A and B are shown apart, each in its own frame.
Chain A
Amino acid sequence: MAEELLKITDLKVGTRGLEIVKGLTLSMRKGEILGLAGESGCGKSTLIKSVIRLLAPGLAITSGSITFDGIDLLGLSSENARKLRGRRLTLVSQNAVEALNDTRTIGSHFLETMKSHVKIEKKKALREAADLMASLDLSDPERILASYPFELSGGMNQRVLIALAMVMRPELMLADEPTSALDAAVQAQAVSEMIKLREKYGAAILIVTHNLGVLAHMAETVGVMYSGLLVEYGQNQAVMGRPAHPYTQALIAAVPDLQGQMKDTIEGSPPSLGEILPGCDFSPRCQFAQEVCQNVKPELRKLSPDHYAACHLDFKPLDS
C-alpha cells in the first residue's frame, strides 16, 4: 500500500452544539482519487473546508484530528496553515465565475498566488502559468492570462480555476462540486483535466459531488456520506457495482438514465440539524429498517478487503 497522505480521524464539526460532521474517519493515499457523494447538507463541503482550515465563521472543529503527510493540520497557526494552502493542498470551488475577481486579469490571479508562496519574477511566473495551462490542454494560454474572468465562458473559468489551484503543484487537491455548474460537454473537459493533473503531477484529488457519473468515471475510491457520516466506503467498482448500504443503493437507483425520467426517488429527507436519532440516521427512510436500526448506531463493517458499509442488515451486496 502506498504512503498515506491525508488522515481524518473521528472528525466532528459543528456550530453551537449542532453537529454537521459527526465523527468521520477517512484516509487517502498519495496520488489517490477519492470521491465523496451524498445529498446536499450531508456535510461533505464542511468536511473539505475543515481540511483546508477555512470553515465558515461560527463553525468549529469540536473533536478529532486531521493529519496531512504527518503534519497535524488542526494544530497549525493560521499563518502556517496559509503557507500550506495553495502550496501543498488546495481547493477548487464550484462557482468559478464568482471564485475569480472580475476586476483583475487571470494573469494577476496566477501572479498573486505564486508570489504568496515563493519569490518569483513576473515574467517567469506568467510563463510558468502559461506552460501549466498548455500542459492541461487549455488553448492559447497567453490570451487567457491577459483576459478578465468575465471575458471567458463559465467552463473555461472552471478549467482556469483548476489550473490556478495547481500552479504550486500541491500534492492534494480538494474539489468541491467542481463540475456541478457546468453543462455535460464541459463537465467532461473539466474531469479529464483533473485526471491529467494526477497523471502529470501526481496530485491526489478529493472530489466531493452529488454527480455519481463523475465519480464512477474518475474516482478510484468512493465514499458515500449521509447526515455527517460515511455510510459506505470502498473501491469504485465495489461500491458502484455492488452497493451494500440501502442509501447507496437508493442513490444509484435515483440517477436518471438517458431513456427515461427520474427513476426511484428516495422518500423523505435526512434528519435536520440538531435532530439526534438513537439509531441509524437513515432508518426513517430505509425500506429495510428493523428494530435494531432504530436503536443502535451502525459502525462501518468490512464486507470485503476493499469495501466497508455502516449497516446492520446482513444481506449480501446487491448486484445492480
Chain B
Amino acid sequence: MLKYIYRRALQLIPILIGITIINFGIMYLSPSDPAERELVLRGMMVSQETLAAMRADMGLDQPFWIQYGRWVKNLFKGDLGTSFASGRPVMVEIGECLPYTLSLAATAIIMTMVVSIPLGLLSAVRQNGILDYLIRVLTFVGGTMPGFLVGLLLIYVFGLRLKWQPVISDGSWSSMVLPTITLALAMTCKYIRQIRAAILEELDKEYVWGARARGVKEKYILYRNVLKNSMLTIITLLGISIGYLLGGTAIVEIIFTWPGMGKLVMEAINMRDYPIVQGYVIWMAVIFVSVNLITDLSYRLLNPRIRLSEEVA
C-alpha cells in the first residue's frame, strides 16, 4: 500500500513540470506587458528607458528558460515569488485565501452528501412512485439552473428582501450559508440523479434477489450491500467535485465577494499577475493528483477484487 502511494506521488513530478511549462509559456506569449502595467500602477512615466529598467528589475528581459529555471529553483525553497500587483509573497496571498476556499468546499460537500444520499436512495427504492417523480422533476430543474442565477436569486430573496443574510459576506460563519447553498444546490441535484441510477442498477443485480430469497432483511440488503457497492459511483463523483471546489469557485466567490482562491486567481489573471497564477496552477495540480490518489485508494478499500489482485501481483 505504501509502495503504491509512493509510486503515485512520483507521478506528480512530470505532471507538475508539464503543467508549469505550458502555463509559463502561455503567460510569456500573452500580449500584455506586466512591466508596463507596473509602471502605470506606480504612476511612473512609461518610456523606453523606464520600461527596459522595469523589465530588468522584474527579470522579464531574460530568455524563457532562464525565467522558468529561476522560478523552479525558488519553488524548491518554498518561494513562489512575489505578486506583481500587491508586492507580497505568493505563498502569503494563497495562504490567506485557502482557509476560505477550504471551508466553503467542506460545507458544500457535506451539505451535498447529507441531502443527496438519503434522497437518492429514497428515490430509487420508491421507483416510479409520487415521491420519485417529485424528486426527479425538482432535481432536473435544480440541476439546470446556473450557479450565478441561483446565487443572485438567493441574494435578492434572503439578502435584500428578507434581510436574513448579509449581501456582502464578511467572512463569518453565517455569511457562508448562501454561497454554500448556491454551490451545493447544483451538486446535490446532480448527485441525487446519479445515486438513484447507481442504486437502481445495483438493485437489479441477481445477488439482491438471492438475498431476498433467503429472507434477508431489506435494510441489510439496502445498506450493507446495495449502498456499499454504489459507494464506488459516489466516490468517483466526489473526487471530481472536491477537485473542482478546492480550485475555488470563481463565479460564486465573486457574486458573494468571498475571498477564496477563485476570486484571487480571477483578479490575478486580469492584472497579468504571473506569479499568483503560477502558484495557483501548482496548487490545482497538487489537488487533482492527490484527490485522484485518494479516490483510487478508496476504490481498493471498497472493492476487494481490486485490492486482492494488487496484493497477488
Residues of A within 8 A of B (CB): 52, 54, 82-87, 90-91, 93, 95, 98-104, 108-109, 112-113, 115-117, 148, 150-151, 161, 164-165, 168
Contact = CB atoms under 8 A, between A and B. Distances in A.
B212 A112 contact: no
Nearest to A99: B210
B224 interface: yes
Contacts of B213: 52, 54, 85-86, 90-91, 93, 165
Nearest to B217: A116
Contacts of B215: 82-87, 90, 113, 116-117, 168
A165 B210 CA distance: 9
Interface string B171-213: 0000000000000000000000000000000000111011111
B55 interface: no
Contacts of A102: 207, 304-305
B303 interface: yes
A113 B224 CA distance: 12
B216 interface: yes
Interface of B: 205-207, 209-218, 220, 224-225, 228-229, 302-305, 308
Nearest to A81: B215
Nearest to B127: A57
Given A99-B207, A103-B304, A148-B305, A113 B225 contact: no
7 contacts: A93-B209, A93-B213, A103-B305, A112-B224, A113-B214, A115-B217, A150-B304
A58 B188 CA distance: 32
Nearest to A92: B213
B206 A116 contact: no
B216 A103 contact: no
Residue among A52, A90, A109 with most chain B CB within 10 A: A109
A104 B221 CA distance: 12
Contact of B206 (A85, A95, A103, A108): A95
Given A82-B212, A90-B214, A104-B228, 20 more contacts: A54-B212, A54-B213, A84-B215, A85-B213, A86-B214, A87-B215, A93-B213, A95-B206, A98-B206, A100-B207, A101-B229, A102-B304, A103-B303, A104-B225, A116-B214, A116-B220, A148-B308, A150-B305, A165-B214, A168-B215
A103 B211 CA distance: 14
B308 A151 contact: yes
Nearest to B216: A116
The majority secondary structure among interface residues of chain A is: mixed
A113 B206 contact: no
Contacts of A54: 209, 212-213
A162 to B, nearest CB: 12
Given A87-B215, A93-B210, A101 B220 contact: no
Nearest to B209: A54
A148 B210 CA distance: 16
Residue among A87, A103, A151, A168 with most chain B CB within 10 A: A103
A98 B216 contact: no
Contact of A103 (B210, B212, B220, B228): B228
B212 A85 contact: yes
Nearest to A93: B210
A46 B140 CA distance: 38
A114 B304 CA distance: 23
B250 to A, nearest CB: 39
B33 to A, nearest CB: 58
Contacts of A161: 210
B225 to A, nearest CB: 5
A108 to B, nearest CB: 8
Contact of A82 (B205, B210, B217, B305): B217
A316 B305 CA distance: 59
Contacts of B216: 86, 112-113, 116
Nearest to B212: A54
A65 B206 CA distance: 27
A87 B305 CA distance: 31
Given A103-B302, A148-B308, A150-B305, A85 B225 contact: no
Nearest to A117: B215
A297 to B, nearest CB: 33
Contacts of B308: 148, 151
A99 B206 contact: yes
Given A115-B220, A148-B305, A103 B214 contact: no
> Which 4 pairs from chain A and chain B are nearest by CB?
A86-B215, A99-B210, A85-B215, A86-B214
A92 to B, nearest CB: 8
Contacts of A117: 215
Nearest to B232: A103
Contacts of B205: 98
Nearest to A166: B214
A238 to B, nearest CB: 32
B208 to A, nearest CB: 8
A4 B7 CA distance: 66
A103 B225 CA distance: 8
A112 B225 CA distance: 10
Contacts of B303: 103
B206 A93 contact: yes
